[in-house]
Structure 1
Amino acid sequence: MKRLSAGISVLILIILNFNLTAEGVGEAAPEASREPVSIQVAGLKGPTSIGMLPLFKNRPVFAEGFEAEYRIVQEPQIMLARIMSGEVDIAAVPINLAAVLHNKGVPYRFGAVSGDGLLYVVSSRKDISSMEDLRGRTIYCIAQGSTPEFILRYVLDRSGVDPDEDVSIDFSFDQVSITPQLAAGKIDLAVLPEPFVSIVSEKNPEVQPVIDLQKIWARTSGTGETYPITAVLVKAELMESSPETVDAFFSEYSSAIDWVIAHPKETGLLAEEFMEMPAGIIASAVPRLNLHLQRPAEARPRVDELYRVLHSFAAASVGGSVPSDEFYE
């Protein structure tokens, strides 16, 4: 009887061992947790990146398995070097630079427009409110041979004012040196971008924006819309391997822009914190920065229109040719 009991006990142990072993059959060993993939997001210091400021502050994680690092880049040359080397994955840059990089074969794609033009005719005069009012006058303009000059010439011509015969365009000052000239009343008519418009108006409240060149472009161009000025580039490898991650980033970016528009004072404080730009000036400039996010499917007609205009003035300004379809894919 004792031998029978012992045999039953052994049998029970064998069955239990079999069950325990069988339950483990086919079970994989737990995987080691993977390190999150780092995405480098960079914005050029200045108006180009104002819409990104909430991202720099809050550093949102916009996709599982990815970790974003946000950086302000101080100089265009540094940004160019980082893009050329592939160091950054997503970058906010001037829109003509995006075309130049594409035409050089740098493997980035057009991810979105994040801001439209921000050029204004400013003056202390009370008798200027239209392009026709500029006829016969001297207009001081910054950045000869680049986008501000080309935009001014285009809208003058489309408004029936010959930029070579009907006005005189003077390039004596850059955007830094022109502001004290305007503030002191030494010149009374100029084309400036924000935030320099707000800087001048703070120094001399008599100097105000009198013509919005974005509205003139929208009224006279072939698209019926204004021109974009800031592009967000995305590394082609990221765009192809994880499009849903790119979409999630742009969703966060769009929300950030909405917040900036609704909170100009707080945005000014963020600009002071992250860019060392004066808070009050940026707060005043926000309504005229024309920030909004538009993906390629919607933005392309007006992006192409701008590139065609820039190319007509100087092919080198867009890298030699209007970007191909691949740029937007």
Structure 2
Amino acid sequence: MKFKRILTAVTAAALCISLAGCGGAASSSSSEAATAESAPESTVAEATASPETAAEGLRVAGLKGPTTMGLVNLMNSEEGADYNFTMYGAADEIVPLLVKGELDAAAIPANLAATLYQKTNGQVEVACVNTLGVLYIVENGDTVQSVADLKGQTIVTTGKGTTPEYVLRYVLSQNGVDPDNDVTIEYCSEATEALSQVQAGQATIAMLPQPFVTSALSQVEGLRVALDMNEEWEKVAGSQLVTGVLVVRKDAVEADPEAFTAFLDGYAASVEAANTDLEGTAALCETYGIVAKAALAQKALPECNIVFETGEQMKTDLVNYFQVLYDADPSSVGGALPADDFYYGV
């Protein structure tokens, strides 16, 4: 199949996981959800006239981590030969290619999709939600049973000024916990730094993303998952927390609507396999460099909330999610909420 692996240094926030030596922390940056802010506006704004869709078929990009784990079964299928899949380490590598029409579709953080919609004057749309929440509160101890129990605590995490911060602050405030006065939030540059503080006893509570959480649980004795932020978000927002989506250029869809529908059908089947054939999917995640080790991927898959969500449910979850981000920082979604034409098939 036409699959090209691009092994670049991961600089910002993709969930590129590799296992370090015995007793060491897994190598990771924060959350894929934070990669939107790693793509500067000047890069996003480099829109040019789009060339015709490549004859080699739909050109699809993915990030290492949960947002692409649901694609691997399609990549490896007979139908996958009809598409050109390319893997990247960070979203800022994908953005200019997608904007200039050198890519047709990409699995990226949801708020980056909203930003791209604004910066391309509506030339892109979101086709599906592919990943729900991947953030978890972990504790080396047993004091946190609810969000209210975080009051008076110190939480180490990543993603200051990006989606993880907005999610944490929203969940705290909606549970009556003032994020500025009732808790101390300490931000680290990446998840390994946050985990190292827990390992060293400098902190007992951290908010970390999957699949890093799965790796961390095997490395720190006594570490446990205290809160699933996806569940906590749903309790207070009335919708599901979104991490990743598949965004597509509208001209690519218009060039061959039936071909894109066939791609989505294959994607849906791939996601189903990712949630039922854990061993096979995990092996493919290692093969395609999405997660470093199959054993880690197999343990993490059930916790990565991989979905194929379209239509009204997709729109409802994204509209609510974008509203929270917009209220916290309009620039996190490109300065304005996407219009209805952003939502494919709705």
Structure 2 length normalisation: TM-score? 0.79
Determine if contact 1:110/1:296 at 8 Å carries over to the other structure: no
* Structure 1 range deviating more: 295-304 or 192-201: 295-304
Determine if contact 1:198/1:284 at 8 Å carries over to the other structure: yes
In 2, Cα distance between the equivalents of 1:139 and 1:243? 47
Equivalent residue, structure 2, for 1:261: 275
Instruction: Tell me the CA shift for residue 297 of structure 1.
Output: 2.9
Give per-residue Cα distances to partners, 1:48-104, cap 9 Å, x unaligned.
111111122225159xxxx31112122222111211221111210000100110000
AA of the residue aligned to 2:247: L
Percent sequence identity is 30
Match of 1:233, SS? Answer: strand
Equivalent residue, structure 2, for 1:228: 242
Unmatched 5+ stretches in structure 2: 1-53
In 1, Cα distance between the equivalents of 2:197 and 2:159? 16
Match of 2:191, SS? Answer: coil
Instruction: Tell me the CA shift for residue 173 of structure 1.
Output: 4.6
Structure 1 length normalisation: TM-score? 0.83
Select the residue among 172, 189, 195 that pairs with 2:211: 195
RMSD in angstroms over aligned alpha carbons?
Answer: 1.8
In 2, Cα distance between the equivalents of 1:183 and 1:147? 25
Query: Does the alignment pair 1:124 with 2:143?
Result: no
Select the residue among 67, 70, 92 that pairs with 2:107: 92
Unmatched 5+ stretches in structure 1: 1-34
Query: Does the alignment pair 1:166 with 2:185?
Result: no
Determine if contact 2:56/2:84 at 8 Å carries over to the other structure: no
Give per-residue Cα distances to partners, 1:301-328, cap 9 Å, x unaligned.
1101111100111111111011112212
Match of 2:145, SS? Answer: coil
* Structure 1 range deviating more: 88-97 or 67-76: 67-76
Determine if contact 1:179/1:196 at 8 Å carries over to the other structure: no
Determine if contact 1:113/1:296 at 8 Å carries over to the other structure: no
AA of the residue aligned to 1:328: Y
Match of 2:226, SS? Answer: strand
Equivalent residue, structure 2, for 1:149: 165
Determine if contact 1:113/1:230 at 8 Å carries over to the other structure: yes
Equivalent residue, structure 2, for 1:45: 64
* Structure 1 range deviating more: 171-180 or 308-317: 171-180
In 2, Cα distance between the equivalents of 1:321 and 1:121? 30
AA of the residue aligned to 2:284: L
Select the residue among 220, 237, 244 that pairs with 2:251: 237
Runs of 4+ in structure 1 deviating by more than 4 angstroms, as ranges, are none
Equivalent residue, structure 1, for 2:199: 183
Match of 1:239, SS? Answer: helix
Instruction: Tell me the CA shift for residue 123 of structure 1.
Output: 0.6
Match of 1:169, SS? Answer: strand
Query: Does the alignment pair 1:217 with 2:233?
Result: yes
In 1, Cα distance between the equivalents of 2:220 and 2:169? 27
Instruction: Tell me the CA shift for residue 240 of structure 1.
Output: 2.3
Match of 1:38, SS? Answer: coil
In 1, Cα distance between the equivalents of 2:198 and 2:293? 19
Match of 1:202, SS? Answer: helix
Determine if contact 2:156/2:206 at 8 Å carries over to the other structure: yes
Query: Does the alignment pair 1:296 with 2:311?
Result: yes
Instruction: Tell me the CA shift for residue 180 of structure 1.
Output: 2.8
Instruction: Tell me the CA shift for residue 47 of structure 1.
Output: 1.6
In 2, Cα distance between the equivalents of 1:91 and 1:296? 18
Determine if contact 1:90/1:232 at 8 Å carries over to the other structure: yes
In 2, Cα distance between the equivalents of 1:118 and 1:166? 24
Query: Does the alignment pair 1:271 with 2:285?
Result: yes
| Higher-Rg member (1/2) | 1
Distance 1:59 1:177, change over 3 A: farther
Match of 1:153, SS? Answer: helix
AA of the residue aligned to 1:257: V
The size of the alignment, in residue pairs, is 289
